[in-house]
Each structure stands twice: as structure tokens, then as C-alpha cells.
Amino acid sequence: MSFTAQDVKALREKTGCGMMDCKKALTEANGDMDAAVDFLREQGLAKQAKKASRIAAEGIAFALTNDTNTVGVVIEVNSETDFVAKNEDFQKFVKTCAQTVIDNNPADVDALKACIASGTEMTVEALLQEKVLTIGENLQIRRFERFEAPCVGYVHAGGKIGVMVTFDTDVDTNADAFVACGKDVAMQIAALSTPYLNKEAVPADVLEHEKKIMREQLLNEGKPEAIIEKILGGKVAKYYKENCLVDQEFVKNNDVTIKQYVDSVAKELGGSIAITGFVRYEKGEGLEKRQDDFAAEVASMVK
């Protein structure tokens, strides 16, 4: 019986064993999953912990504002496993780090570690080391951004994504309608991973690159050169609509754009509201994990 890269991956997830051990087990078992599990158990390999090989790429992306929604922070703190990310003590530590950033305005992570953690008499560095000892995993404060402007934060899926949106407004930043509006915008950013605020924020080289691809697509479709420029105009407009926050269709009401939705809330509150920026953190983004490209790696060994 033959086996595939996905079979190796499934056996690895089921037993916690290394990739090569799983491949060997499936080879010995002629592809039979149950027999392969038994083989690994017989070899004393199943569920063998390899803590030292784990990377701190799980954790929490978190957003927090002060009581008046005029200072905010989005922060990412990493742990080795998702299980620890759900630990109440770890979550409390992340909130303490965020509050410390709000209270002290540190320049970077090193400066944050040197601060006295809000609500304690310990430095953030000392508190971090205490959590490493008590929780038993490698923990890392990876990054943060702090804002001094009207702002609303949103945390998605218990810390998978953290978003902070900033505004220029003359309305009450504690008004329920303003906070709800800010959360709606942040949820849109979390869901669609919007890259740019508006047309002006799209770098010229990025736009030129996209237009080059669009042009090649049209040529490959056999479109006459004479009409390509006209078609390009429509494609660029569509690109802005899909990639610029203020031009996107509001996911809760496709009849209006995000800008039109925000303008309607401003009108309701008797003032003006303009989105000035946003930051979206997704936990572990850009960090290598052991499972990245795993299927391709295994496939090359199975062949």
C-alpha cells in the first residue's frame, strides 16, 4: 500500500513524532495508518516531546485603548503553543504589556522591557522572565505600535488578529455610535487584510507593477492594443476598490463603501469622522513555523 505526503503529515499530527520517523513507520506498515501508529508506539517514539525544536510563533495579537479612546496600542506577544496562548495568566501578561505601552510610551521593545509594568513593582523584563518560568514556555514580546489619536481597537478570534484604527474627528470618542463604527471598520480590516487606506497610500511602484500584470493579461486574452488603455482604467479602479479601505464595499452593507458608512455615522453624530490610519497584526505572521511548506517537504522525500 502506498502513502502520500498528507498521510505523513496526518501521522505526525496524531503521534507528535518527527517527519522521518513517520515516513519510516508508514514504509514499514505499507501505508497502513493504524499499523504505523503501533510501530511508533512499539519504538517508544509516539508522543515524544521535542520542546527544544519549537518556535515561539503562537501567542496573541492584542489591541487596547485608554478610557477616552484617545491613546491606543496594538501588540503581539508570542508563545510556543496555542494552548499557552489560551492561558489566563499569559493573557493577563499581554494586557499588562499593552497598558504599560499606553502609560509609558516606550520607543521600542527593549525600552518597554525596561519599564515598570503597569500595576506592578517589577520591570516588564522581570515579569516576562517570571512568566517563562511559571508557564514553562519560551515567551517573546515581538512588536507593538502606539497611537495618540481618536482610535478604536478590535481583537479577533481570541487574539489571532489585533487591529487598531485611528481617526480625525470632532465627535465624542466615547459615544457608542463612534465606538461601534470604529469596531466595524476594524473588523473589516481584520477580515479582508486590507493593505492600503486610500488611493494615495498605494506606492507608485506597486501600482505600476499591477498595471503591468493587467496589461499582460489583456494581451494574452487577445485584446487589441487600441482599447487596452481604456480597459486598464476600469481594472485600476477595481484594484483600488478591492485594496483601499475607504473604497471597499462595507461587508455589512454592500450598497455603501467604508467611507460612505463612516460619513453616515458622522452625520448621525452631528460632526465629522475621517479614517487616518490602521495597523493589523496577525499572530505569527512572518515567523517561520515547523509546519510551513510541510506537505511539499514531505512530498520530496516520499518520491
Rg (CA), the chain: 25
Helix (H) / strand (E) containing 251? none
CA pair distance 241, 247, nearest whole angstrom: 5
Q: What is the per-residue pLDDT for 231?
A: 94
User: What are the average pLDDT values for consecutive 10-residue runs of the chain, which has 303 residues?
Assistant: 85 76 89 83 52 66 98 96 92 98 97 97 94 88 98 96 98 98 98 96 95 90 90 95 97 97 98 98 80 49 46
Please name the amino acid found at residue 18: G
All residues at 6 or more sequence positions from 138 whose CB lies less than 8 Å from its CB, including other chains:
54, 56, 79, 80, 132
Helical pair 5-15 and 19-28, crossing angle rounded to 10 deg: 110
Beta bridge partners of 279: 164
CA pair distance 95, 102, nearest whole angstrom: 11
Are 88 and 198 in contact by the 8 Å Cβ rule? The answer is no
CA pair distance 106, 126, nearest whole angstrom: 16
Q: What is the per-residue pLDDT for 295?
A: 53
Q: What is the per-residue pLDDT for 132?
A: 86
Q: What is the per-residue pLDDT for 124?
A: 97
Exposed/middle/buried for residue 268 (C-beta within 10 Å: 0-12, 13-18, 19+): middle
Domain boundaries, the chain: 5-53+289-302, 60-199+244-282, 203-243
What are the two backbone dihedrals, phi and then psi, of residue 266, each rounded to the nearest 5 degrees? -60, -45
Beta bridge partners of 61: 76
The CATH number of the structural domain formed by 60-199+244-282 is 3.30.479.20
Q: What is the per-residue pLDDT for 302?
A: 46
CATH class in words for 203-243: mainly alpha
Listed in sequence order, the DSSP H helices in the chain are 5-15, 19-28, 33-42, 82-85, 88-104, 109-114, 124-135, 176-192, 204-220, 225-243, 258-269, 294-302
Tell me the CATH number of domain 5-53+289-302, given options 2.60.40.1180, 3.30.70.100, 3.40.50.10330, 1.10.8.10.
Answer: 1.10.8.10
Q: What is the per-residue pLDDT for 15?
A: 73
What's the pTM value of the predicted model, to 2 decimals? 0.76
